[in-house]
A and B are shown apart, each in its own frame.
Chain A
Amino acid sequence: MGGRRAQEDLRVSVKKPIAGGTNGAAVVALPHPGTQRTRRLTRFLESERLLASLLLAPTVVLLGTFIAYPFVSGVWLSLSDTSVGNVGHFVGLKNFAKAWDDSIFQQAFRNTFFYTFWATIFKLALGMWLALLLNRSFRGKRLVRASMLLPFIIPTVLSTFAWRWMFDPTFSVLNWLLFRTGFIVNKIPFLSDGVYGMWCAIAVNTWRGMPFFAITLLAGLQTINPDLHEAASLDGANGWQRFWHVTWPLLKPVTLVVVVFSIIQTFSDFQLIYVLTGGGPANATHLLATYAYQVGVATGLLGEGAAISLFMLPVLFVVVWVQLRYLRRLEGA
């Protein structure tokens, strides 16, 4: 870094005398002299600070208007009794207190942790297994890898509809399959029972998110030198020992990053539950996001809805903080 700065200073100081001493003349020395106006623009763009602010302006404006402003406005909404068509008044923390005492909110709050915890565990375990399988060489590998990613790229809403149809109370193909193979005598109430419904949602989330884990971990696996495995197996390590003592330590950094991303997405999930169960039966499968939608948009109580979705913030904050600390440590090393 320091070297580059010095190099640049050197170049500028070399350039100046050639161009005749003044800053303005430096541009004249260029082989493509333009009109007065383009010359002034060129000189303007030579300043790193000005160029940087120009290049960053569109991003800062867009993110400021549609992320920072809504965030501030969301905090204000959550402290007011705004509803659709009514300008709100400041009510302090009333919305938060009301949500905290609400039994549906408590259920949604617990569900969100339960859902995130189990879905992440399953995605990590199955994704790791799949990555290890895909890391071997076999015929048709590219095709297999490409089709494994399909659940991740097909719009979640559309593939969740396919799952909903597979879990249909009357015509479920899964019930048919289990019945025919002799595992069940009576239908499994996939989505009409709260407990089953939650596990079905976890299963669909795992199905959708596992390819992301597998492909990213596979990219990590491919950077591991095969000589390490060879050396370990010469020393008599079996498959499990090789995984645990060679692969896993080297894969830990990328695993942490993938898990953090997945936790954020799972914790704030909306569309999967909205389509699969709609939060039902009897609010048993609501997550924070779907309940915030129901209160804030479907019922129109903007203030209360905003407060419910802000309950996600502390958890997201901790997760992002862990991620940033980790990135810093990587850069420091």
Chain B
Amino acid sequence: MVIEKPWKRWVYFYIPLTVFLIGTLFPFYWMLITAIRPDAELYRSWRAVTNTPFWTLHPTLEHFRDLFEKTTFPHWLWNTFFIAVVSTGISLFCGLLAGYALARLKFPMAGALGTSIFVTYLVPPTLLFIPLADIIRNFQLGNTPWALILTYPTFLIPFCTWLLMGYFKTIPKELEECARIDGATRFGAMVRIIFPIAVPGILSAGIFAFTLSWNEFIYALVFLSSPERKTVPVGVVSEMIRGDIYFWGQLMAGALLGSIPVALVYSFFVEYYVTGLTGSVKG
């Protein structure tokens, strides 16, 4: 290997990496420090000499208390969680079956169907939210969690199918064929031999789908209306700003608590998440 001089390593590596790291994480630090800072310190002149923006000597939990007492935040948290879990489950189920069929079975129109699922993967929700709102109203699903549970799979299924199809293709066909020679049915071989091997792929797809559902905004904004039915992103936007007044302490406390569940899931499964992320574009 090429041997580097120490100063070069600092200039070309440590310093840029540190700048990247600070830039990436500073907004989260700012969220935290705002959430525990008392109001008197939050709203001070920006040129005040005594200003110490990067830390506080009087940390407080009053913003968190307000969040739970004055808003329906716990409801939002539960709604987001419930909707994310159920829509991820539905999408994994559909994606598993469809991915297997597209990877392994031969049937007319297989190519066309694969392509159209891929194309729906690239259809952004912002293209369809207006007609979808109309359809949701006609189905009497407006303002219910089902409006989201049924529509989130539209962007999750294509992704899950695509990822799992790629995964199934890496499993040798011989495994299945052995099972079939031993008398397993095609369906039995799929469920008992192939699906268990695909567990890492299923986990990747599931983690990724969960974070996508937790993140979704426009459908939740348009389809839900009563405060206690909302998800965290929509609730924070629409219920915590009264008139023109932003309660920044409370807002940041809500943003922090709303981010923690998804950050936790992510931190336990980083490797699976990264596989899902890179697989999502490679196919």
Which residue numbers of A lie inside 8 Å of B, CB to CB?
4-5, 11, 30-32, 42, 45-46, 48-49, 51-53, 55-56, 58-60, 62-63, 65-67, 69-71, 73-74, 77, 126, 129-130, 133, 136, 138, 142, 144-151, 153-159, 161-163, 165-166, 168, 170-173, 175-176, 179, 187, 207, 211-212, 215-216, 219, 230, 233, 254, 257-258, 261, 264-265, 267-271, 274-275, 288-289, 292-293, 296-297, 302, 305-306, 309-310, 312-313, 316, 319-320, 323-324, 327
Q: Which residue of B lies closest to A267 (CB)?
A: B124
In angstroms, how far is the closest chain B Cβ from the Cβ of A317? 10
Size bracket, chain B contacts:
35 or more
In angstroms, how far is the closest chain B Cβ from the Cβ of A26? 11
In angstroms, how far is the closest chain A Cβ from the Cβ of B79? 14
In angstroms, how far is the closest chain A Cβ from the Cβ of B101? 4
A159 touches B255 (CB 8 A): yes
Name B's interface SS: helix
A179 touches B46 (CB 8 A): yes
In angstroms, how far is the closest chain B Cβ from the Cβ of A63? 5
A212 touches B277 (CB 8 A): yes
A156 touches B217 (CB 8 A): yes
B166 proximal to A (CB < 8 A): no
B170 proximal to A (CB < 8 A): no
A45 touches B185 (CB 8 A): yes
The contact string, 1 if C-beta is below 8 Å from chain A, for chain B 98-127, is 101110011110100101011110111111
B248 proximal to A (CB < 8 A): yes
B113 touches A56 (CB 8 A): yes
Residues on B with C-beta less than 8 A from A306 are 130-131
B277 touches A74 (CB 8 A): no
B34 touches A293 (CB 8 A): no
Residues on A with C-beta less than 8 A from B117 are 59, 63
Given A156-B217, A161-B236, A297-B130, answer yes or no on A130-B20 (Cβ-Cβ < 8 Å): yes
In angstroms, how far is the closest chain A Cβ from the Cβ of B106? 6
Residues on A with C-beta less than 8 A from B248 are 165, 168, 171
Given contact pairs A59-B97, A149-B274, A327-B283, enumerate 20 new A-B contacts (beta carbons under 8 Å). Answer: A45-B185, A48-B105, A66-B154, A73-B134, A74-B128, A146-B267, A149-B270, A150-B25, A150-B28, A151-B27, A156-B215, A158-B233, A162-B34, A162-B255, A230-B1, A233-B2, A257-B281, A306-B131, A316-B127, A324-B119
Q: Which residue of A lies closest to B154 (CB)?
A: A66
B51 touches A305 (CB 8 A): no
In angstroms, how far is the closest chain A Cβ from the Cβ of B125? 8
Name A's interface SS: helix
In angstroms, how far is the closest chain B Cβ from the Cβ of A261? 6
In angstroms, how far is the closest chain A Cβ from the Cβ of B203? 16
Residues on A with C-beta less than 8 A from B181 are 11
Q: How far is the CA of A163 from the CA of B278 in the complex (A)?
A: 27
Q: How far is the CA of A298 from the CA of B214 in the complex (A)?
A: 24
Leading 10 A-B pairs by shortest Cβ distance: A268-B124, A74-B131, A158-B255, A289-B126, A157-B233, A55-B97, A55-B101, A219-B278, A52-B107, A73-B131
In angstroms, how far is the closest chain A Cβ from the Cβ of B187? 4
Q: How far is the CA of A292 from the CA of B222 in the complex (A)?
A: 12
B126 touches A309 (CB 8 A): yes
Q: How far is the CA of A320 from the CA of B120 in the complex (A)?
A: 10
A48 touches B107 (CB 8 A): yes
Q: How far is the CA of A324 from the CA of B214 in the complex (A)?
A: 29
Contact of B161 among A31, A59, A158, A216 (CB under 8 A): A59
